[in-house]
Structure 1
Amino acid sequence: MTGDEEPTEGRSAPPDAMSRRIAELLTGLGPQGGNEIHAVFVLTVAAELASVVAVDDQDRPVQIVPPEEVMALVRLHREASAARPEGPWWRYLLVVSASGEVRTDYDFGDEPFPDEHLFPAEVYRADLEVFPRDRLPVWLAAYIDHADRQSRPAQTAARAEPGGAVVEDGLPALPLMVARWALLSAAFVAAGSPWGPRVLPALGLFEGAERSGSSLWIMPGDRAVLSGGVWNAPVLDAVYNAGAPMPDLYAGAPAWVANPMLNPRAGTGLLSFCYWWDRGRWYRGDSPAAGEVAAAVPGVWSRESAAAIVAALREDEPGAGAREAALGLVQAADRGEIGRSSLAAVFGEGDIDDAYLQLIMAGVAVDE
């Protein structure tokens, strides 16, 4: 939720008397002409910030600095909201329309706050001392309390106890994973989508639309590390909200499974799986079976899963021809020999150069 967003469904509420009074005061501070005002208030007991923007009669944004009278009302509003089951809100949105209609919305941390609205961890700890909560959103609980427990520096990795890893058969072999990851990356680029996976030399990246994601680091010597996080993973909820022990994701991992090869979620305590490829097999420690992390990995699981995504990127409702063409591309990727013309035949020439570059960087393109 930001200052220019509409209220979030399920979190908005009719304005109360205090909100109407805040709206009246802000309206009096704005430019004349009855234009819209957007206000976002971000509060804890230890820190606060406010962003209030009005629009003048020429549709130009005008920044308003709320006076202490407004901020005092906002603080009272938050204190009153502490009676809600979720506890007091963290962010409060107020919109005043040109006709004077007031809309409000409250953010209880269901999704991570934008960086500009995120306070240091100690600020939230201080707030929780005053307003204790039965549970926190996993991302916020990890932000406050991860204490680098998922970090694996090279020194720690080199001195780790051997053994404890198990074979993971739910993932495709590394060459097939790399090829399909690259093809899906090329397909999303060719379709003009800012979403989906991407590749760089020796690295595959994926961030899903629902905040799950992973990275695939490919190393010399036929080695690789696939790690990431499933959004609101139950195992992390248990760690941060119920005091369960942190799973040993690196149990039995070799020394080269270390911080530089781990998804950035390891640095924020939100890593929920880690697998490594060594001697022609995938292994894992206390990570879940691969089928449980599908939301955080692109559709590389089989030829069919990859082809279905490629076909859907070509046509909203792909017919037999689109599905057959997509499967042909996946088969060519599995062989490591996709030509530029094959990719263009499916997606056209629109953004084909950037798309083809994805295949080149992954080593599955062939010259024609």
Structure 2
Amino acid sequence: MTDIPAKRKLTIEDVARQAGVSISTVSRVMNNTDYIADATRRKVQDAIDALDYRPNALARGLKQMKTDSIGLILSDLQNPFWLMVLEGIEDACQEAGYSLLILNSRDDPEKEGKNIKEFLMRQLDGIIINPASEDNPLFAALAAEAFPLVFLNRRVKGVEVDTVVADNFKGTMLAVSHLAALGKNRIAIFLYPANGISPRQERLEGYKQALAAHGLETDPALIKIVETKEDCLAAMKQLLSGSGKPDAILSTNNRLTLEILDALGTLNIAVPQDIALLGYDETEWSKHLNPPLTTIRQPAYEMGREAAERLILAIAAKRRGETMQPVTVQLEPTLVIRESCGEILQ
């Protein structure tokens, strides 16, 4: 806690006092002008957070300086999807002569905010971010200052910056259409909670629209929103215990697909003999499952490369004193057909 009067404008001296370091140390941390031990840097950042010194830290980070470094904030580094996205970003950065720094928000908006401020303090030229939510006030602040920023994989309403996404409506419509063509008419969908995250909302809406397009009604009992492996097993038991059992399952996340397979195995339900399974996100292991998994392939590498190229263009424009009109680039998913849904249509 601090006894600084609430109405007085905070200064760098306040940060130094809070952190127990010198003013010059705070200055060097904020301007990234010299080597600072990680522990000291963290003390200064903690002081900035405690004092809510964000506006000044933000102003520091928005100074036009050339560091030839880009920041990347991802939501889940354990998801293999992001490894392919990262390859695209790295290739574009290397070709343009940019260094890449990576942080993981773990889908935590508070951690995401700290990640952004860390990058701003290091005077990075721009940031690519897979947003953890729509409510981070730093997004609007960065956009207002024309700071080079690209949203990746997720949309944020009301913030006008370059955005690179996949067509999630088309992805789930491709999936449902494939299952319907195989004669499936009780298609369940498994999702993680939306929490304001656009792809999850868009995939659910695409599922509903696709059902309607094929003359099938949306049954709320077939929509399963789960958070944990235990939730997935409980939802599966509930689905399979009633009279209106599904004949197919659409998973909307590759990690969720593994949890679904584990639940089906626990319940001795065979794929595709007892139920068809279609996953979202093509990964290296999809073709090695038993049976090999039919999936919706997102253009992961292309998304990463496009995001980096858009950011590099924005950085170059800002250095010339120009403003680029923000655009949304939407890339197309494709269906990869294997054996997990049964008969392979020719």
TM-score calculated relative to the size of structure 1:
0.28
Larger radius of gyration: 1
Higher helix share: 2
TM-score calculated relative to the size of structure 2:
0.29
The structure showing larger relative contact order (alpha-carbon pairs under 8 Å, at least 6 residues apart) is 2
